[in-house]
Chain A
């Protein structure tokens, strides 16, 4: 791989790592909300019937 491209990837790595972290947090957050886990927790805590 050309030297310039490698250095570009290396410089972009921290940004990509943050992007992947946001992806992971987004997927996890949306999934558990979408599946209604907040309702389950509320139910178990006696906040909802």
Chain B
């Protein structure tokens, strides 16, 4: 539970730091929610930048990180003293004359969010990606004290600003802190929806939007796990909110804020680049009614250059390590360190555009491809609601139920702009960004604001008596959604509250945990382990290399026999091999060897490997090169 205190400290410190910067640059929104959220976004961007800087310097030592945490805690206390009374006043003013069903909906959605927080407090388990990348990479950085290049881990050079916060959490709190931070980003997204609603419609519309977003299955399910998508969505919503505010009252200072937040979104994940796309399209389409064309282009260049300046350290890092700013994507253009698989579900025509140097053919293919994809993927929203392929695509029914109402409700110029930005992001999502709602929660947040606007305004004055019908139905569905959150949280309640030890819980939940317990207790600190068939390395406290089929660090096809393999592993400094005894068929189809049935790997095992640990699923070998010297 101490993680909650850490999260509150993180956000208060971010508010304090961001408020200082925003006040100095005269970004001072009049509305309190906007003031708080823009300051938090700025403060978190600063902290992420600081952690990146420390990582590049190679000083990610416990003392340094505890020093950063202590300074941030001091900042949080200062914030509380300086701004606490002001914040308290505004919080007391927030709920403006809510009807009973609105109170019920907000309270029950809050209960659902708390149930999700219980899940976040459990040790990371189950989902693959966090234990293989999002949490595993920060832990590897902590083990090596530097922001190095883990060449065998997918996405090792992706921008990782959110992961920098996770790294600090892992260093000063517990394994659950990153999950709770991600949950906190989900709550911040809901707050941003309230703020955007307040800005463009009404506070009540924003509250309904937040309720709709809080219940969307993709956020409920993934928001409590160690992914980064809710964090990306938060910075994207803030950037687009700043853009909408700029459209209302254009000014250079406001445009700088758009640029900084767009850069912050681009620093979270390559998908954040889509935010820059939206910003540039909107800036280019906005006509010169209130400014000269020259100034207009200057503004476009200003926003783009600020965004690129904020995000560039991440892309520069990738370029310096791998010769490719977006490694391992777009290898056809940038070249760089070889990687066996660059698709990641991106549509073929996008891949062709970035990888085929003959641009004429590529552009032609891109245009026809994008039109074809737009046509086939246009109803994605419908399918995400009714027949999602997985939890990643499950958005729930509220958007499909409510958005048609936009045709009938009163729409201000601001709402029209929001519809435009949302439609543009939807097109980008389905045409370019894998049509995956988990990667694009910002889209759900924007749509949730519009849904909230519909809930508040569906019935005109003539049908005033019917107004509660839809909100009451939403309140009922909120209760059902919260029941699901409660149901998901129930199994982890004992471990989240300390009734069951974290170790016992993990022994039952994570099949690799006993193996890594052995590794962490018995292997020397400088051990270097080759994982064979094992994907989740988070609980391993020693350096490791992952032999998945796409990386090229250990590429069996390039090593003709067991002697060559032994020589190569010796050159990499491998001391042990941890192997999954029976690799599941799904991974074999991906290209993993079935090691114990493979003559090549059997020859290698018999000659160079000595078992030192075995359980039902895994075996650990000591690697003895027997006189073979490394070739590197």
Q: Which residues of A contact B (CB under 8 A)?
A: 13-14, 16-18, 20-21, 23-25, 27-29, 31-32, 37, 40-41, 43-44
Contact indicator A27/B466 (Cβ below 8 Å): no
Shortest B355–chain A CB gap in Å is 41
Which residue of A13, A14, A21 contacts B470 across the interface (Cβ within 8 Å)?
A21
Which residue of A20, A21, A32, A41 contacts B397 across the interface (Cβ within 8 Å)?
A32
Closest to B397 in A: A31
Contact indicator B408/A28 (Cβ below 8 Å): no
Given known A-B contacts A14-B460, A20-B405, A44-B487, A37 and B480 have beta carbons under 8 A apart: yes
Which residue of A14, A23, A37, A40 contacts B401 across the interface (Cβ within 8 Å)?
A23
* 8 residue pairs A–B, Cβ–Cβ below 8 Å: A17-B459, A25-B473, A28-B397, A28-B401, A28-B473, A31-B396, A37-B480, A40-B483
Closest to B398 in A: A28
- Does B600 make an interface contact (CB < 8 A)? no
Complex Cα spacing A16 to B408, Å: 8
Contact indicator B408/A31 (Cβ below 8 Å): no
Known: A20-B407, A28-B398. 16 other contacts (CB 8 A): A13-B460, A14-B462, A16-B407, A17-B458, A17-B459, A20-B408, A21-B469, A24-B473, A27-B401, A28-B473, A32-B477, A32-B480, A37-B480, A37-B483, A40-B483, A40-B484
Complex Cα spacing A13 to B400, Å: 20
From 382 to 397 in chain B, residues with beta carbon under 8 angstroms from any chain A beta carbon are 385-386, 396-397
Closest to A24 in B: B401
- Does B463 make an interface contact (CB < 8 A)? yes
Closest to A23 in B: B404
Contact indicator B484/A21 (Cβ below 8 Å): no
Shortest B483–chain A CB gap in Å is 6
Given known A-B contacts A20-B408, A21-B459, A27 and B397 have beta carbons under 8 A apart: yes
- Does B486 make an interface contact (CB < 8 A)? yes
Complex Cα spacing A20 to B455, Å: 11
From 365 to 423 in chain B, residues with beta carbon under 8 angstroms from any chain A beta carbon are 385-386, 396-398, 400-402, 404-405, 407-408
Contact indicator B385/A31 (Cβ below 8 Å): yes
- Please list the 9 inter-chain residue pairs (A to B) with the smallest Cβ-Cβ separation, ordered nearest first: A31-B397, A27-B401, A24-B401, A37-B480, A20-B405, A27-B397, A28-B401, A25-B473, A28-B477
A residues less than 8 Å from B469 (CB atoms): 21, 25
Complex Cα spacing A40 to B487, Å: 8
Contact indicator A21/B458 (Cβ below 8 Å): yes
Contact indicator B483/A44 (Cβ below 8 Å): yes
Contact indicator B458/A20 (Cβ below 8 Å): yes
Interface residues on chain B, number (Cβ under 8 Å): 28
Closest to A22 in B: B469
A residues less than 8 Å from B402 (CB atoms): 24
Given known A-B contacts A24-B473, A32-B477, A17 and B460 have beta carbons under 8 A apart: yes
Complex Cα spacing A2 to B618, Å: 76
Complex Cα spacing A34 to B462, Å: 34
Complex Cα spacing A17 to B470, Å: 11
Shortest A18–chain B CB gap in Å is 7
A residues less than 8 Å from B484 (CB atoms): 37, 40
Complex Cα spacing A37 to B466, Å: 26
Which residue of B408, B474, B486 contacts A17 across the interface (Cβ within 8 Å)?
B408
From 466 to 485 in chain B, residues with beta carbon under 8 angstroms from any chain A beta carbon are 466, 469-470, 473-474, 477, 480, 483-484
Closest to A12 in B: B408
Contact indicator B466/A18 (Cβ below 8 Å): yes
Complex Cα spacing A14 to B385, Å: 27
Contact indicator A18/B463 (Cβ below 8 Å): yes
Closest to A15 in B: B463
Which residue of A14, A16, A20, A41 contacts B480 across the interface (Cβ within 8 Å)?
A41
B residues less than 8 Å from A21 (CB atoms): 458-459, 466, 469-470
B residues less than 8 Å from A31 (CB atoms): 385-386, 396-397, 401
Complex Cα spacing A13 to B410, Å: 11
Contact indicator B486/A24 (Cβ below 8 Å): no
Closest to B459 in A: A17
Shortest A7–chain B CB gap in Å is 15
A residues less than 8 Å from B385 (CB atoms): 31
B residues less than 8 Å from A40 (CB atoms): 480, 483-484, 487
A residues less than 8 Å from B405 (CB atoms): 20, 24
A residues less than 8 Å from B462 (CB atoms): 14
A residues less than 8 Å from B407 (CB atoms): 16, 20
Shortest A28–chain B CB gap in Å is 5
Contact indicator A25/B483 (Cβ below 8 Å): no
Closest to B490 in A: A44
Shortest A23–chain B CB gap in Å is 6
B residues less than 8 Å from A43 (CB atoms): 487
Shortest A13–chain B CB gap in Å is 7
B residues less than 8 Å from A14 (CB atoms): 460, 462-463
Shortest A22–chain B CB gap in Å is 9
Contact indicator A27/B408 (Cβ below 8 Å): no
Complex Cα spacing A25 to B474, Å: 9
Closest to B484 in A: A40
B residues less than 8 Å from A28 (CB atoms): 397-398, 401, 473-474, 477
Complex Cα spacing A37 to B404, Å: 24
Complex Cα spacing A16 to B407, Å: 10
Contact indicator A44/B473 (Cβ below 8 Å): no
A residues less than 8 Å from B386 (CB atoms): 31
B residues less than 8 Å from A44 (CB atoms): 483, 486-487
Complex Cα spacing A13 to B405, Å: 11
